Amino acid sequence: MNYAGLDEWPEPPIHGDEVATLLGSLDRQRATFAWKVGGLDAEALRATVGASSMTLGGLLKHLALVEDYYFSVRLLEHQHVPPFDALDWESDVDAEWSSAATDDPSFLYDLWQRMVDQSRRNVSDAIDRAGLDQLMKQKWPDGRAPSLRRTVVDLIEEYARHVGHADLLRESIDGVVGEDPPGIHD
């Protein structure tokens, strides 16, 4: 089985250190998200529920952007990578959401996976250099710089919130429900 670019379903360690526990929790959220959005066609990735304009395709592109922003732009002060470097943030603050409607599913899946892989490399290198206490290079608007620890926790929260959105959207598309894919914890 292969979910979220992993050979097995990720679980945080039962008795791990702080780094392993935090990164294990983040990878479990990523894998759950990948399962919730996986294997869908363009029509399904554009489906909405109720009055919301949120789509699974929009979630894929948004979380790809969040991965790039948190662990490349903010952590390392790198520039956004394509396609995020070309989005018109001035006229459309939600450009990643709206532009996903015209993106091919394979592009969205690949983009999200590439940004996750990039984040894993960046975070691993950063932890090896200076641990979780290091400050992000890009500061918040108020001038404070959060630690990498705080930023990892923020990304876990971001995924947890959006996994809930993905759960509702996916159920409305094809009835898929549950916390984990079938066979994981049976």
pLDDT tens figures, 98-138? 889 999 999 999 999 999 999 999 999 999 999 999 999 99
Split at pLDDT 50, 70, 90, the class of 93 is confident
Mean pLDDT of 143-158: 97
CB-based contacts of 153: which residues, under 8 Å, 6+ apart? 22
Mean pLDDT of 42-62: 95
Q: What is the percent of the chain where pLDDT is above 90?
A: 79
* Residue-range domain boundaries for the chain: 18-174
**How far apart are the C-alpha atoms of 64 and 94, rounded to whole Å?**
13
pLDDT of residue 33 exceeding 80, the answer is yes
Sign of the C-alpha dihedral computed for residues 144, 157, 126 and 84 taken in this order:
negative
Mean pLDDT of 131-160: 97
Q: Which CATH architecture best describes the domain 18-174?
A: Up-down Bundle (1.20)
Split at pLDDT 50, 70, 90, the class of 92 is confident
Q: Please provide residue 49's backbone torsions phi and psi, each rounded to the nearest 5 degrees.
A: -125, 130
Average pLDDT in the chain = 92
